[in-house]
Amino acid sequence: MKITDKIVEKHGLKQEEYRSIIKLLKREPNFLELGIFSAMWNEHCSYKSSRIHLKKLPTKGKQVIQGPGENAGVIDIGDDDAIVFKIESHNHPSYIEPYQGAATGVGGILRDVFTMGARPIALLNSIHFGAPEHPKTKSLLNGVVSGIGGYGNCIGIPTVAGETKFNETYNENILVNAMAVGHVKKDKIFYSKAKGLNKSVVYVGSKTGRDGIHGASMASAEFDENSEEKKPTVQVGDPFTEKLLMEACLELMKDNSIISIQDMGAAGLTSSSVEMASKGSLGIELELDKVPCREENMTPYEMMLSESQERMLIILEDGKEKEAKKIFDKWDLDFVIIGKTTNTNNLTLKFNNKIEGEIPIESLASKAPIYDRKWNKKNPPIHKIDIKDLKKIKIEDALIKILSSPNHSNKNWVTSQYDQMVMCDTVQKSGSDAAIIRIHNKDKAIAVSVDSSANYCKSYPLTGGKQIVCENWRNLISVGAKPLAITNCLNFGNPENQEIMGEFAECLEGVKEACNFLNYPVVSGNVSFYNGTNKKNIYPTPVIGGVGLIKKLSKPLSHNFKQVNSTIILVGKTFGHIEQSCYLKENYSITEGMPPEINLLNEKNNGENLLELINKNLVLSAHDISNGGLITALSEMTLASDFGALIYKPKKLTNLFKYFFGEDQARYIIEIQTQKLPIVEKILKESNIYYENIGLTQENYFEIEGELKISTKDLFKINNQWYSNY
């Protein structure tokens, strides 16, 4: 087949990239080779627009065993235990085919974790939809939630935490980010680096079909009015087969048979073989007529680019093939030796004893394009909002508007579709600041949370990037966990747009600054560009997934009030930052202004000292303050419990709306036994932490002196009405 400009364009390659391919090969590629370059050089696989920025992130720490560059990150949690975790996007597939797109997103991230030798113990997600009134939102929401629940429930991994958000910026491009967490012994971690010559390259799992061909390329381009035509590029998942594959792989990992192992994810057999060979500075020869296929007359091109799910590529030690095959036969899975490692440093593809393609590995990996794209620095917004100029409303009415809004309403309708307790190690499930999962048969646990804040990042990306790291850090602190490391999923628009690239660069700079200061390294992640339709890009939406350690799990700390007549303490200073607040958005449809300032010194000091109070058993409940401000956080503590609160009027900040709805950072609410107040105050004062005694817990009512009084029953009704009516 003659390679024309149109064929090159259809493969998502630019003409200058095609010329680079010719130069690297010293000849024109054939159609199969072009497809392979297309798969490996697309944005989704090569990170060609993001690599120079990603290198700036802190990725090392004394707790880090494996940082970015493997299937998932790995951290040390002591006692020879390690945690493996990663978050990835499946945005485009989920918009085109919501159920299968979301389901295969879950399946893919699970494979990244158990490929490393870890048994998955938890799933999380961050899902973003368009305006609720948009004609597509309801069906997309139903499909995605069903897909996440369907896959996770069937495979038997609890979905323990996440977030569901709505904003018109996602009307034509939803976000579906899936995170998986696994547990492994430190001496049983497996990697993807190929080693040794003439070692068996083994295909295991499901058969290869025509689903998902060009899936990675589809994820590396904007949508347009013809996006529905891309449905064939969406993979089809089978959680029951994935369960079998997981158990078979984990069983094989008990001995020393495996040299390297790689999930067949984006770009399928192409990416898995190239990545293994590249890391090991080896070549790989594949006999494609041996690839198990579920459809007739599949071509080498289709085999190499298929993204059929539930498949792995394994390189085995000599003489281990027979015993390994027995394991996969037992689990009723394909096990076929389809190739070998070589010293050629080439990807050699044979079909019916004929070489159909031969490409230097380095041309697909290390010599893939890297772009230092131009970007524009964003100036801080100068618009200042004078709250006195706004139409006067009651505090009660403003709070009701927030608690009954789509983004703050009770989301039990979503979370009830996820099995959160399977495996029996979920100590605290979704609804609190972070979920808590016990390390099986041990008295220690991990805490996990995912967070995003697109409006802050859109307003001023540098501050937004810092804020979302800090919020995630606070969520782990609030349940008594020491934050250890993060994974990130960076969802942005078209990187060829200088403004969008500027949002990416500055968000990442903010993430870097916060992670460095908090000693909170990035160990894995994913970049998702080209999120947009017809040149309309989404808001910058970096999602942070954090993992923390609870060394001694005596009693999990949650955000629900525990008893009557406890003292309620506000930790951290309130300045009344109202711009970019939920209060302005929900009550006045105002979205202008700067996000709140991030003081990293206060974040660290307040968080570390709160953790000390928690470890000394001085805190009954805790909750970080973020979107919606102090009053929303207090309402959430009431809604999660059988008790209300009596909150005093502030003595220093005169504007009540700024005080109660301002979104100043580095703040927490803690509930303590009143008799322990002197001890708590002493520790806070010695640590130079600003705090206020703001009220007491009480029965039946949520109340602010002289301003509002709502029964806890009515508050519950207000918070539950949106989802029940949608």
Q: What is the maximum span of the chain, computed from C-alpha positions, in angstroms?
A: 86
Beta bridge partners, 537, equal: 532
| 570: nearest Cα among 680, 475, 679 | 680
Is the pLDDT reported for residue 723 higher than 90?
A: no
pLDDT at 430: 86
Mean pLDDT of the chain: 94
Q: Residue type at 436? A: I
Q: Return the structure tokens found at 702.
A: 């949520």
Is the pLDDT reported for residue 232 higher than 80?
A: no
User: CA 142 from chain center: how many Å?
Assistant: 20
133 to 57, 539, 588: CA distances (angstroms): 38, 19, 18
Catalytic pick from 44, 53, 183, 408? 44
The sign of the CA dihedral 172, 230, 541, 622 is: positive
Element (H, E) at 124: strand 119-129
Is the pLDDT reported for residue 556 higher than 90?
A: no
Q: Distance between CA atoms of 465 and 22, rounded to whole angstroms?
A: 40
pLDDT at 7: 94
Q: Return the structure tokens found at 550.
A: 């609870």
Q: Return the structure tokens found at 196.
A: 């040794």
pTM metric for this prediction: 0.95
Which one has a higher pLDDT value, 232 or 551? 551
Is the pLDDT reported for residue 191 higher than 90?
A: yes
pLDDT at 222: 61
For the CA atoms of 339, 344, 347, 353, the dihedral, rounded to the nearest 10 degrees, stands at: -50
At 466 the three-state DSSP class reads: helix
Helix, strand, coil share (%) of the chain residues, nearest 5: 35, 25, 40
Q: Distance between CA atoms of 336 and 341, rounded to whole angstroms?
A: 15
Is the pLDDT reported for residue 448 higher than 90?
A: yes
Q: Distance between CA atoms of 507 and 541, rounded to whole angstroms?
A: 9
Residues in Cβ contact with 623 at an 8 Å cutoff, skipping those fewer than 6 apart: 433, 478, 559, 633, 636, 637, 668, 669
Q: Residue type at 284? A: I
90 is an active site residue: yes
Torsion angles phi and psi, residue 203, rounded to 5: -95, 125
pLDDT at 212: 73
Once rounded to an integer, what is the mean pLDDT over residues 342-365? 97
Once rounded to an integer, what is the mean pLDDT over residues 144-150? 97
pLDDT band at 218 (very low <50, low <70, confident <90, very high): very low
Element (H, E) at 154: helix 137-155
pLDDT at 224: 55
Residues in Cβ contact with 259 at an 8 Å cutoff, skipping those fewer than 6 apart: 194, 195, 196, 199, 315, 316, 317
440 is an active site residue: no
Once rounded to an integer, what is the mean pLDDT over residues 36-43? 94
| 639: nearest Cα among 710, 550, 568 | 710
Residue 713 class from Cβ within 10 Å (0-12 exposed, 13-18 middle, 19+ buried)? exposed
Q: Distance between CA atoms of 106 and 158, rounded to whole angstroms?
A: 12
Once rounded to an integer, what is the mean pLDDT over residues 634-638? 97
pLDDT band at 406 (very low <50, low <70, confident <90, very high): very high
User: CA 255 from chain center: how many Å?
Assistant: 32
Place of tokens 């403003």: 398
- Residues of 441-465 as b/e, b for ≥16 C-beta within 10 angstroms? eeeebbbbbbbbbbbbbbbbbbbbb
Q: Tens digits of per-residue pLDDT, 656-671?
A: 999 999 999 999 999 9
pLDDT at 226: 52
Write the DSSP string, 541-578. Answer: EEEEEEEEEES--SS---SS--STT-EEEEES------
307 to 96, 476, 648, 689: CA distances (angstroms): 16, 36, 59, 53
pLDDT band at 142 (very low <50, low <70, confident <90, very high): very high
Residues in Cβ contact with 23 at an 8 Å cutoff, skipping those fewer than 6 apart: none
- Pairing verdict, β 435-438 and 445-451: antiparallel
222-124-139 Cα angle (round to 5):
50
pLDDT band at 534 (very low <50, low <70, confident <90, very high): confident
pLDDT at 671: 98
pLDDT band at 383 (very low <50, low <70, confident <90, very high): confident
Of 180-184, 216-220, 418-422, 697-701, which gets the smallest average pLDDT? 216-220
Q: What is the chain's length?
A: 726
Q: Tens digits of per-residue pLDDT, 233-257?
A: 577 889 999 999 999 999 999 998 9
Beta bridge partners, 154, equal: none
Q: Distance between CA atoms of 43 and 54, rounded to whole angstroms?
A: 14
Is the pLDDT reported for residue 137 higher than 50?
A: yes
Q: Tens digits of per-residue pLDDT, 244-294?
A: 999 999 999 999 899 999 999 888 999 999 999 999 999 999 999 999 999
Catalytic pick from 11, 90, 408, 559? 90
pLDDT at 544: 98
The sign of the CA dihedral 685, 689, 690, 694 is: negative
| 468: nearest Cα among 518, 430, 401, 411 | 518
Edge-to-edge strand ranges of the sheet holding 258-263: 258-263, 311-316, 200-205, 334-342, 283-287, 346-351, 354-360
Torsion angles phi and psi, residue 459, rounded to 5: -65, -50
pLDDT at 230: 47
10-17 own/partner pairs: CB under 8 Å, 24+ apart: 11/35, 11/37, 11/38, 11/217, 12/38, 12/42, 12/217, 12/220, 12/221, 13/37, 13/38, 13/41, 17/41, 17/369
Are the CB atoms for 676 and 364 separated by under 8 Å? no
